[in-house]
Structure 1
Amino acid sequence: MPSRRDVIRQLALGAPLVLLAPACRPLRPRGAPVGGMRADLVIAGGGLGGCAAALAACANGLRVILTEETDWIGGQLTAQAVPPDENRWIETIGGTASYRALREAVRARYRRDYPLTAHARTIARLNPGSGWVSRLCADPRTWLAELEALLAPQEAVGTLHILRRHRVVAADVQGDRVRALRARSLETGRDVVLEAPCFADATELGDLLPLTGTEYMVGAESRAQTGEPHAKDAPEPDNVQGFTVCVAMDWRPREDHTIARPAQYDRWRAQRMRSDEVAGAPLLSFDDPDSRPIGFDPVARKGFWSYRRIVDRDLFTPGSAGGAFDQDCTIVNWIQNDYAWGSLTDGTAADAAQHLEAARQLSLSLLYWLQVECPRPDGGQGWRGLRLRPDVVGTADGLAKAPYIREGRRILAEATVLEQHVTLEGRMADTGASQEAARAYPWPDSVGIGHYSMDLHVSTRGDRGRYGDTLPFQIPLGALLPRRMENLLPACKNLGVTHLTNGCYRLHPIEWNVGEAVGHLVAVARRHGTTPRAVRHTPALLADYQRQLVTGGIPLAWPDPLPPG
């Protein structure tokens, strides 16, 4: 492995980041008991992309093995406890048919199993939490139940095998192909070798890329590398968006649920905002210019309290379920607990563990500050009735099972989505079109659609901001194909995007679309006895693949004109 200094030097010279070697360790160490399994497709990572890839592959008759480090599949929606960030057309045309079906299944479960009021049951586009970050803010456990229900039939007939609480720790690579992965049980320590003709990386950080020696980029590129107007003067491989350990909490007036003072509370109480634009503002406060007009008030049920709220008490029958829904419940995923003081990518295991614990301490410190020190509108301090909800996130401490990762490793792809492809300003400059006529770059090899602002949370170098309005865009097949590796595909946020365009390609429905497209791609390649790369470069195969996507409910282009959102 090259040293971190060598890697930074490579990038400073404009060279691609290439990490090799660990993949070549023997998968069957001498004397170690190792089992084996084989499938048509092995997927590492059971988040949204991994689940969608598995469903699509199984629907095409493939046998699939899916690994997941936690005991909850679903990633952002479940183990990370992040209500979906979506585009304003998501209810009708803004995602794949299967993603919209998942959303409707969640609503149907609420109507069937939850004590909604008579009025709430009549709301066609029910939003159980009335959160304003999304049109469907729901309990992570409900998302989990519907995802499990989707996958259960395939598990029952044996076409899908899910290895929960397993982490991929090594890979066997020969030339430009992955031959097998070795996954380790986090409970027993036992290893299992997973063999397949094709593999997908749906991990949150792109874990398979260094393990397999697949070329990738991490951090911020330079303008010389991408030509992006807002790219850096020089590459910054250590500059990634912060991650967040989410917290679930409710409000119990006249009760005291103050937690023990967190071990790192003094550190975070004294910490100033990481972002240069608000340098000097306390982190544990609402003094940030973006936060001040929002505020926080669980009594008036305003501001950040309702931002990612997953239970709106007004939608539930009072006194039902032992009063479980008599008070709101919300998810804490705010700028105040975005951790930007280190990365989980490409450091040592000890570094990652240290940063993860610090992020957990930050979230607990924010809660403690809200309970005991936060200024109240009535002039008092703190809301001691704020209560952790471990049951909502399935943990003992009330913190999400896994951190919400916004940015990890990204493949060096055949096609890389740049700022110029998706921003209004960039397209107007490239095409000479007016603001009204400007459209995102039309990818002929489109495998889906998406839209979100190019929104980058505070980064490890203190950057934060939006870099121009984005246009409804497409997902190119070329962004799913590594430049060299033939049988490893990205199925999460690790596709061919840049540090900047990751900001608009990292959201829930887009990750689902990427995974679903990968599942279909592997099936088409297997059916024709060829490689995923050949599908893109053979017109008849590409046409066949795109027809299959459309038939499967995956739109390849946005309608023009767009309907109201």
Structure 2
Amino acid sequence: MKSLISITLLTTFLTPYSVTATPLRNPDKTVNCEILVVGGGLSGVATAYESLLAGRTVCLTEITDWLGGQISSQGTSALDERPTQRAKQFYPRGYLELRNRIQKKYNKLNPGDCWVSDSCFLPGDAHNIISRMLKDAEKQGRGKLNLFPNTVIKDLQISQDGKIIDGAIAIQHQPTKNAPPLNTFTLSQTIEDAYNYQNSSRLDKKIIRFLPKQSQRNHQWYIVDASETGEIIALADVPYRLGIDARSYLEPSASSTTNDPYCTQGFTYTFAMEATKEPQIQIMPPFYNQYAPYFSYELSRLANFDLVFTYRRIWSPNKGQQTKFGGINFTTPTPGDISMQNWTWGNDYRPGTAKDNLIYTRQQLQAAGQLQSGGWKGGLRTEALRKGEENALAYYYWLTAGNTDSQLGDGVKQPQPNHRLLTGINSPMGTVHGLSKYPYMREGRRIIGRPSWGQPEGFGIWEVDISRRNYNDEYYKKTLPTDMYRQLKATLAGLEATSVIRGEVSPDQAMKRSRSTIFPDAVGIGHYAIDFHPCMENSPPEAPGNKERRGERRGAGQAYPFQIALRSMIPQKIDNLLVGGKSIATSHIAAAAYRVHSFEWSSGAAAGTVASFALRENIAPYQLVDDLPRLEPKLQILKDILEKNGNPTAFPDTSIFNQNWQDWK
């Protein structure tokens, strides 16, 4: 522990790296693909999985050396699932296979005996399981997987008419001779180097050019942006949203009357800590006092260390005694138990202003030169990453040695010295410093879909499409302008919508539909609560007395089972680009539900299937939906393929006449 603090934090955070003065050379390697998948998280893996089963040649890039995103490199290896969907086992086939392989690995689905999920496990095992799944899919479908870990996309070659990505340039890195191994340094220390064409004192680079497979008609190929923050949509400069959307009849619970691109959900560097029999020496990080005013158990019913430790416990070799706190049942920790920490008023880092936001807006990217040729550096604020890393390590110290609580006052938090931070290449996070290789991202850039009937400014999935919120609450009638309120009630009225619009039925008398919006172009499913980790009001986030952005949690709450519309995956401008994961066309509030594990897999399964189908039919994805609401025969063929392959596009009994969704929990 002492060496970690003194060397990794004090020294390497301050140690500069030198860049070898060599000019940009020609690509070291050219690789041909039918489908280029950018991002090896769950959405990217699912895209590759389905593409390989369809017999396609796939190139898959990932910034870290682990596949799996949320459940591996980001450390959140606790599956977020809703009870009804889990009970019915109604998931895409690849996600079910993932769960089955976890069960087989440990002879149980929940080796951590956590209480937040039915499945908590070790991140490194998730990477190994997923890697095996892709190899098996490659063999079964007779596809070809070209895997590029430690690789980032640096530049795109776009056709003169701006409609096609003709090629992509990537940089793959490895440690230079005599340099420490990968995962010695934190992401903030390496990310700018990783996007630099030149070699450095830490990293040697290989430049890779991706091009369409030569045997394809018209050299047709597809690029899928499955990155965590929407890197390719930013680099290709297609229209997108970021942060809070302005209040409207589609987003009536928005916390602002105007857009605010700086307030995205908080990001989290997770870490693993082990319960020990004997007290451990806990070394205070030099930056601890800067972040200590932020930390809290948050609520009295959660103010119990054992409760927090077991919340996302990922390994428990010896089952403890059954106990209860705040109405929650769990087993007490025993020595050897390992907990992964992901706590809102803990290692969440929640900047929300133009001074400290993590994900750069288009204007910030332009000002920084990142949209110029060769200027792309990942689109993130390195300083925000660094502070998120410090905040996480300070939170570990607070858990084990702290005695303050920013929300609950004095006397609540007690030291818990019988624990140690797990560090080293062979630790659960696979890093020398003990933090996850990449932060857990809850929100990124979200595309604006192409103009569609009912949404002439661009398709999107909004709060009202999925939320169970009671919009008869007086807040909406008092806050929304009269016309906006009437539009809201008409949108929610289902079969009575036309009568409300015509004035034949009073908005307050219209019966609210009790299901999510049904999309004719649905290609996937998801179900989760609208779950917020709001940005903070002021900068810096950890400032004493700082509060969450007012009104942000109004949009939080339960959601109906929902669908993924194909239109939400098709960006404007670029015809051979598809989007999966958190960057599909959702609003800020809807995105808070469209971000968890099974949804990411479903969106990726859809992307892989759509791309493979488009290659087979020699058709662009937008052509599958451009005549809606009129009948789209090829869209129906695509949906049949998804369903036949075990990738549901709708929940059981989905119909405009079925209003019985209240029992779905």
User: Same fold, TM exceeding 0.5?
Assistant: yes
Where 2:126 maps in the other structure, the secondary structure is helix
The CA distance in 2 between the partners of 1:325 and 1:293, in whole Å, is 22
Look up the match of 1:340.
350
Give the whole-Å Cα distance in 2 for the aligned partners of 1:158 and 1:559: 32
Whether the aligned pair in 2 keeps the contact of 1:43 and 1:54 (CA below 8 Å) is yes
* Alignment correspondent of 1:37: 31
2:309 paired residue number: 305
The alpha carbon displacement at 1:535 in A equals 2.2
1:114 corresponds to: none
Q: 1:394 to 1:540 in 2, by over 3 A?
A: same
The residue correspondences of 1:352-391 to structure 2 (distance < 5 A) are 352-374=381-403, 381-390=414-423, 391=427
The CA distance in 2 between the partners of 1:253 and 1:103, in whole Å, is 32
Q: Which amino acid aligns with 1:553?
A: G
Of 609, 629, 642, the match for 1:549: 642
Deviation at 1:33, TM superposition (A): 4.3
Q: Which residue, out of 236, 240, 244, partners 2:268?
A: 244
Distance in 2 (alpha carbons) for counterparts of 1:379 and 1:78? 33
How many angstroms apart in 2 are the aligned matches of 1:393 and 1:354?
22
The partner residue of 1:465 within 550, 553, 560 is 553
C-alpha deviation, 1:193, in angstroms = 0.7
Deviation string 1:367-406 (CA, Å, 9 cap, x unpaired) is 1122222379999941222111231111111111110111
- Opposite residue 526 of structure 2, the aligned amino acid is G
The more displaced of 224-233 and 80-89 is: 224-233
Residues 3-402 of structure 1: pairs in structure 2 closer than 5 A: 31-82=25-76, 83-88=78-83, 89-111=85-107, 126-153=109-136, 159-174=144-159, 175-187=162-174, 188-196=204-212, 197-224=221-248, 226-230=250-254, 232-258=256-282, 260-269=283-292, 271=293, 283-286=294-297, 288=298, 291-297=299-305, 302-315=306-319, 326-335=335-344, 336-341=346-351, 342-346=356-360, 352-374=381-403, 381-390=414-423, 391-402=427-438
Considering only aligned residues, what root-mean-square deviation do their CA atoms show, in Å? 2.7
Q: How far did residue 312 of structure 1 move?
A: 2.9
Q: Following TM superposition, by how much is the alpha carbon of 1:226 offset from its aligned partner in structure 2, in angstroms? A: 5.0
Which of 535, 538, 548 is residue 624 of structure 2 equivalent to? 535
Residues 498-524 of structure 1: CA deviation (Å, up to 9, x unaligned): 111110001111011001100000111
Q: Which moved more, 1:492-501 or 1:184-193?
A: 184-193
In 1, distance between residues paired with 2:444 and 2:384? 15
Q: Distance in 1 between matches of 2:586 and 2:171?
A: 30
Aligned equivalents of 1:100 and 1:475: distance in 2? 18
> For residue 279 of structure 1, what is the aligned residue in structure 2?
none
Q: Is the 8 A contact 1:47 1:202 kept in 2?
A: yes
Change over 3 Å in CA distance of 1:227–1:142 after alignment to 2: closer
Q: Which amino acid aligns with 2:300?
A: R
Q: What do the CA deviations read for 1:185-221 (whole angstroms, capped 9, x no partner)?
A: 1222121011132101111011111211222111111
Cα deviation 1:469-503 (Å, max 9, x = unaligned): 31111111110111221011112200000111110
Q: Which runs of 5+ in 1 are unaligned?
A: 1-28, 112-120, 272-282, 317-323
DSSP-derived class of the 2:381 partner: helix
Distance, in Å, in 1 between the alignment partners of 2:123 and 2:573 is: 38
Q: Residue type matched to 2:634 in 1?
A: L
Percent of pairs with identical residues: 27
Residues 16-53 of structure 1 show CA distances to partners (whole Å, capped at 9, x for unaligned) of xxxxxxxxxxxxx8743442111100011000000000
Once the two structures are superposed, residues 317-359 of structure 1 have per-residue CA deviations (whole angstroms, 9 ceiling, x without a partner) of xxxxxxx995321111001211012332115569722111111
Once the two structures are superposed, what CA deviation does each residue of 1:111-143 show, in whole Å capped at 9, x if it has no partner? 2xxxxxxxxx6xxxx322222221111111221
> Contact between 1:427 and 1:439, CA under 8 Å: does it hold in 2?
no
What's the secondary structure of 2:302's corresponding residue?
Answer: coil
Deviations 1:115-173 (A, max 9, x none): xxxxxx6xxxx322222221111111221121011012456777001100001111111
Q: Is the 8 A contact 1:420 1:426 kept in 2?
A: no
Out of 519, 530, 538, the residue aligned to residue 443 of structure 1 is 519
Distance 1:263 1:58, change over 3 A: same
SS at match of 1:250: strand
Distance (Å, rounded) in 1 between the aligned partners of 2:464 and 2:528: 15
Q: Which amino acid aligns with 2:553?
A: G
CA contact (8 A) 2:269 2:347 kept: yes
Go from structure 1 to structure 2 and tell me whether the alpha carbon gap of 1:161 and 1:155 turns closer, same or farther (over 3 Å shift): farther
Q: Name the CA distance, whole Å, in 1 between partners of 2:295 and 2:433.
A: 21
Conserved in 2, the CA contact under 8 Å of 1:238 and 1:460? no
Output the CA distance in 2 between the equivalents of 1:257 and 1:54: 45
Q: Distance in 2 between matches of 1:546 and 1:564?
A: 24
**Change in CA separation of 1:479 and 1:73 when aligned onto 2, cut-off 3 Å:** same
Unmatched runs of 5 consecutive residues or more in structure 2: 1-22, 175-203, 213-220, 321-332, 369-376, 451-458, 473-488, 495-509, 538-547, 654-659
Q: CA deviation at 1:285?
A: 2.7
Instruction: Tell me the TM-score normalised to structure 2 length.
Output: 0.70
Letter in 1 for 2:58: V
1: CA distance, partners of 2:143 / 2:55: 11
Deviations 1:72-101 (A, max 9, x none): 010000000102212222243442122012
- In structure 2, do the counterparts of structure 1 residues 231 and 366 end up closer, same or farther at CA, with 3 Å as the change threshold? closer
Question: What do residues 278-328 of structure 1 show as CA deviations (whole Å, max 9, x unaligned)?
Answer: xxxxx2232x3xx3211232xxxx321111111234459xxxxxxx99532
Of residues 189-198 and 541-550 in structure 1, the stretch that sits farther from structure 2 once superposed is 189-198
Asked if structure 2 preserves the Cα contact closer than 8 Å seen for 1:424 and 1:471, the reply is yes
In structure 2, what is the Cα distance between the partners aligned to 1:432 and 1:387? 55
Residues 446 and 474 of structure 1 are in contact (CA less than 8 Å); yes or no, is this contact kept in structure 2? yes
Equivalent AA in structure 2 for residue 296 of structure 1: N
- 1:459, distance to aligned residue in structure 2 (A): 1.3
